[in-house]
């Protein structure tokens, strides 16, 4: 394997030219050839660690067609370029653009991981510890996780699991860890005793030794949960459909004090309005400013020696009509005004209708 890598490196330097290209883990990267291929066969291959080739894509009728293992991760860019999406740790290595079987461009892809090796988690929560290893083209038997030198998890390619003490049923890795080279450990229901330094390895039976993953260690700090803290468990999808929307409008009861204040204000305002109307009506009745009096008056002509008889509800005294007659009759204006005011105030007597004449008051019908 070392000889194959050395020979490939020499080929890069002296024959076709070679350049390194960084790629961020789980992000896309663009691979491009620096020469045009006029032949019908233009292919991009990935050289694995054991020097075996793996076809990434082939240019067919001007469009890059992905290989079997890259059907959902290769996208066409141009006749000289192809996009490799969702880069995983096994994508690390050398890539060759071949034209009619001849290598025209070689690219060394370096997969970089951006990660914080110090993780802080609350007691009872779930945390994932990152770890990656290039398993493609290598003889890996199983992966190993340890904490402070004590076993946490041992998982073989066949799926056999062995847990460390205290981690039973709480730790796991993804099922396709060998295919993508991701050994990340997920720890559920974190306990205070889980704090410490975690290490990941792969074991190789061919060499009877183990190699460290990347990053080789992750430090975990567990924060004790206080009594007033609560953990929100994930809501199942079926239950989400039955729960009301978080922005749904719900009926609420206004504060009691606010209702009492508005009620008091409305009642008080209504009381002032009623009192004001009654006062204005009384003033009008007192000064005779209404159109007519509050009670119409009927006047019956008295017999000789009898007093005058006033009956309400017969005659209405119209102030405008009274003014016209006062204007026409001149001298009687004063007498008419006096009688009208007394009628409105209920203070009339028979002398007001006979004073100065034996006839009834001219404004009142006989």
Same domain, yes or no, for 9 and 108? yes
Same domain, yes or no, for 61 and 131? no
Which of 190, 225, 260 lies at the terminal end of a domain, its last residue?
Answer: 225
Place of tokens 């880069």: 87
Same domain, yes or no, for 34 and 124? no
Alpha carbons 75 and 265: distance in angstroms, whole number: 72
The tens digit of pLDDT for each residue in 338-357 reads 555 655 555 555 555 444 44
Which of 225, 240, 263 lies at the terminal end of a domain, its last residue?
Answer: 225
Q: What is the CATH number of the domain that holds 199?
A: 2.60.40.10
Domain holding 303, by residue range, is 297-354
Alpha carbons 178 and 270: distance in angstroms, whole number: 83
Please report the DSSP string for 217-276 in residue order: EEEEEEEPPPTT----PPPPHHHHHHSPPTT-----PPPHHHHHHHHHHHHHHHHHHHHH
Question: Which residues have C-beta within 8 Å of that of residue 178, sequence separation ≥ 6?
Answer: 135, 140, 157
Q: Is the pTM of this model over 0.75?
A: no
Which of 112, 147, 175 lies at the terminal end of a domain, its last residue?
Answer: 112
Burial call 117-139: b when 16+ CB within 10 Å, e when fewer = eebebebeeebbbbbbbbbbbbe
Give yes or no for residue 309 having a pLDDT over 60: no
The tens digit of pLDDT for each residue in 171-219 reads 999 999 988 999 999 999 999 999 999 999 998 876 667 888 888 889 9
Is 254 a domain residue?
no
Same domain, yes or no, for 81 and 178? no
Is 166 a domain residue?
yes
Alpha carbons 172 and 185: distance in angstroms, whole number: 6
Cα 207 to its chain centre, rounded Å, is 54
pLDDT score for 254: 47
Same domain, yes or no, for 106 and 141? no
Is 170 a domain residue?
yes
What confidence category does residue 282 fall into, taking pLDDT thresholds of 50, 70 and 90? confident
Instruction: Collapse the DSSP code of 303 into the 3-class scheme (helix H, G, I; strand E, B; otherwise coil) and give the result.
Output: coil
Same domain, yes or no, for 129 and 199? yes
Between 362 and 215, name the one with better pLDDT: 215
Asked if 160 and 175 count as a contact pair (C-beta separation under 8 A), the reply is no
Same domain, yes or no, for 15 and 108? yes
The domain tally of the chain equals 3
């Amino acid at each position: 394997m070392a000889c194959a890598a050395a020979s490939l490196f020499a080929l890069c330097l002296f024959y076709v030219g070679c350049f390194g290209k960084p790629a961020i883990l789980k992000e896309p990267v663009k691979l491009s050839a620096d020469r045009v291929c006029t032949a019908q066969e233009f292919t991009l291959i990935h050289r694995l660690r054991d020097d075996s080739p793996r076809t990434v894509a082939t240019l067919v009728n001007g469009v890059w067609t992905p290989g079997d293992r890259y059907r959902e991760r290769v996208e066409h860019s141009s006749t000289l370029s192809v996009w490799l999406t969702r880069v995983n740790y096994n994508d690390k290595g050398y890539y060759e653009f071949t034209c009619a079987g001849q290598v025209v461009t070689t690219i060394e892809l370096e997969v970089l991981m951006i990660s914080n090796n110090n993780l802080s988690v609350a007691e009872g929560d779930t945390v994932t510890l990152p770890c990656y290893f290039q398993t493609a083209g290598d003889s890996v038997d199983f992966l190993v996780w340890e904490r402070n030198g004590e076993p946490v998890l041992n998982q073989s390619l066949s799926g056999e699991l062995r847990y460390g003490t205290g981690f039973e049923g709480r730790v796991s890795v993804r099922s396709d860890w060998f295919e993508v080279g991701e050994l990340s450990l997920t720890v559920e229901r974190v306990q205070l005793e889980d704090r410490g330094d975690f290490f990941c390895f792969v074991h190789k039976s061919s060499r009877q030794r183990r190699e460290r993953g990347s990053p080789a260690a992750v430090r975990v700090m567990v924060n004790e949960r206080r009594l007033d803290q609560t953990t929100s468990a994930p809501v199942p999808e079926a239950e989400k459909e039955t729960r009301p929307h978080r922005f749904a409008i719900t009926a609420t009861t206004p504060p009691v004090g606010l209702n009492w204040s508005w009620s008091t204000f409305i009642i008080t305002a209504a009381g002032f309005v009623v009192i004001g109307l009654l006062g204005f009506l009384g003033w009008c009745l007192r000064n005779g400013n209404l159109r007519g009096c509050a009670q119409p008056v009927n006047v019956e002509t008295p017999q000789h020696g009898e007093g005058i008889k006033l009956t309400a509800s017969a005659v209405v005294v119209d102030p405008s009509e009274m003014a016209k007659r006062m204007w026409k009759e001149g001298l009687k204006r004063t007498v008419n005004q006096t009688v009208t005011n007394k009628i409105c105030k209920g203070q009339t007597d028979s002398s007001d209708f006979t004073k100065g004449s034996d006839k009834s008051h001219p404004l009142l019908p006989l």
